[in-house]
A and B are shown apart, each in its own frame.
Chain A
């Protein structure tokens, strides 16, 4: 009777093992192959009447891939990207392009503090 919990635990381990192996099999550690060889990702941003479009889209991006914000704004402002070291991109009124690169995998929120809105969530992997 006292071996039943041990049996359960070893069965549990037997079940977790294929789980671990399966996920190891599809390993995609980010490597240096993505930067420099991929095209920059362009995100169109429109700032008008106190609101910004997009309104929180989740966008896939590669580690080290150049991200270009194609901004059309009716007023000057700032983009804040919550990378490990917060990044601030100033933009003028009118049309402009602001670029940034993320070197670390993770989800980075880009928001505007003046308008208090999340613009995009960059899924960097």
Chain B
């Protein structure tokens, strides 16, 4: 059959990741109902449009119960969170370094499910989780304590022009590993990715201080961005409960924000797309691809196209507006990128809910035996996975569409509020149309992929 040289792709399609069966596609009626609902609500928001911005994180909401506030802002809590992050990281490293290169190694599930998807769901409910548990921040903090320096300060100031671009690149590196790289479920490559991540994070922390993590840690940027949809904010040292829309308004429009948003949305869309029957058939039956072994190239190009495509649609949609004299149109994409975050969350729920619920449980069971020795350290070894969600495909399909449409509605409201804040009064309505079309395109595209996949 021939020898497969290391590093060369053996065939046309990369084998896919962990987890067994995938979700069923949603019915065409459901997809169309969703798209119609999204479109209708968008125009209603536009028609009933308010003329003065109303989501102000500085004044919105009320203080949380005093006990909760004291707990969450206490040193004990932040230490407990840092310890939790370090313990889970240590356990994962233990499984990665000393465990077997088998799919029963819980490291894969911890990396692709607990971290990549779990972090999103926990951040949406609890706020910026990764910032609290990040092992890189903790190790940086420990080094600083030992050497007697300040973890917030590095050798240099983090350059503002760099912004979130390193995080966008890091996120792209993750989705490339998960979705395109043929050996995404082999221990060596994933372990190498993680080692490189930790190395870059520690180096960055030493060079630029904690600002590096806020700007350039892909997981922290992801978690903090999604965390803006939670109702929690700390104001004047006290925990407050505010409207997610007010919280979303506090997203800092740094350089590279559009890149981050584009990679997050584009990659989720690509994940759906690459499992769709038309793409699978195309890559496997096309003679040009077959003869020149271009299956991997096709997947690479498709991922890139989706991410760049989202960036282009977002940029064009947000720039099609009149502006104040002296205000630059080029600022618009960055100022409006935050409104895509709810759409991203809706789509992550739609695409990964059953995956997280089922493969997440499976990972918890496998985590009891990290070295595949037959051990049962956590006592979960003989549990079985509850597949309830998969056995209720209609309910699951409804949840998916409601999540996507809800994400769209929140996004449209956020974009409108930002538009009335930024644009000259006579462009308040017309200036939003481009952005509205862009968002309807994202939502309809997302619903189509849920139907076609």
How far in angstroms is the closest Cβ of chain B from A96?
20
Say yes or no: is A42 at the interface (Cβ < 8 Å to chain B): no
**Chain A hits for B15, CB < 8 A:** 111, 113, 116
A39 at the interface (CB under 8 A from B): no
A118, B238: Cα distance in complex, Å:
55
Residues of B within 8 A of A15 (CB): 37, 40-41
Contact B284 A117 (CB under 8 A): yes
Q: How far is the CA of A122 from the CA of B332 in the complex (A)?
A: 45
B262, CB-defined interface residue at 8 Å: no
The answer to whether residues A108 and B29 also contact, given A5-B413, A7-B48 and a CB cut-off of 8 A, is no
Q: Do B394 and A27 have beta carbons less than 8 Å apart? A: yes
Given A26-B27, A30-B391, A84-B20, decide whether A118 and B280 contact each other with a Cβ distance below 8 A. yes
Chain A interface residue count, Cβ-Cβ cutoff 8 angstroms: 47
Residue in A8, A11, A23, A105 whose beta carbon sits within 8 Å of that of B33 in the complex: A23
Tell me the A1-29 residues at the B interface (CB within 8 Å). 1-2, 4-5, 7-8, 11-12, 15-16, 19-20, 22-24, 26-29
Against B, the Cβ 8 Å flags (1 = close, 0 = not) of A76-106 are 0000001111100000000000000010111
Q: Do the beta carbons of B24 and A56 come within 8 Å of each other?
A: no
Q: Which residues of B contact A24 (CB under 8 A)?
A: 394, 398
Q: How far is the CB of A69 from chain B (nearest CB, A)?
A: 18
- Give a binary string over B39-56; 1 marks a CB under 8 Å from any A CB, 0 the rest: 011001100101000100
Within 8 Å of chain B (Cβ to Cβ): is A46?
no
Cα A24 to Cα B388 with chains together (Å): 18
Inter-chain CA distance A22–B29, complex, in Å, is: 9
Task: Give, as a whole number of angstroms, the nearest-CB distance from A86 to chain B.
Answer: 7
Distance between B423 CB and nearest chain A CB, rounded to angstroms? 19
Bound complex: CA A57 to CA B22 (Å): 16
Contact A118 B21 (CB under 8 A): no
Q: How far is the CA of A118 from the CA of B183 in the complex (A)?
A: 16
CA distance A29 to B16 in the complex (A): 28
Task: Find chain A residues with CB under 8 A from B13 CB.
Answer: 116-118
- CB neighbours of B10 from chain A (8 A): 116
Surface stretch bound by A, among B82-90, B213-221, B401-409: B401-409
Q: Is A107 an interface residue (CB 8 A)?
A: yes
- Give the CA-CA distance A5 to B410 in the complex, in Å: 11
Verify B34–A83 contact, CB threshold 8 A: no
A residues near B1, Cβ cutoff 8 Å: 114
Q: Given B12, B27, B50, B401, which contacts A19 in the complex, CB threshold below 8 Å?
A: B401
Bound-state Cα–Cα, A19 to B397, Å: 12
Could you tell me the distance between the alpha carbons of A96 and B401 in the complex, rounded to whole angstroms? Answer: 43
Is B281 a contact of A105 with CB atoms below 8 Å? no
| Minimum CB distance partner of A116 in chain B | B11
Q: Contacts A4-B50, A23-B397, A117-B11 known; A82 to B281 CB distance under 8 Å?
A: no
Q: A15-B40, A23-B394 are in contact. Are A84 and B401 (CB under 8 A)?
A: no
Q: Which residues of B contact A105 (CB under 8 A)?
A: 24, 390-391, 393
Question: Which residues of A have CB within 8 Å of B24?
Answer: 105-107, 123-125
B160 at the interface (CB under 8 A from A): no
CB within 8 Å of B: which residues of A?
1-2, 4-5, 7-8, 11-12, 15-16, 19-20, 22-24, 26-30, 55-58, 82-86, 102, 104-109, 111, 113-118, 121, 123-125
Subset of 28 A-B contacts with CB under 8 Å: A1-B50, A5-B50, A5-B54, A12-B44, A12-B409, A16-B37, A16-B402, A19-B33, A19-B37, A19-B401, A23-B29, A23-B401, A27-B394, A29-B392, A56-B277, A56-B284, A57-B277, A84-B21, A85-B20, A104-B390, A105-B24, A107-B275, A108-B22, A109-B16, A113-B15, A115-B11, A116-B10, A116-B13
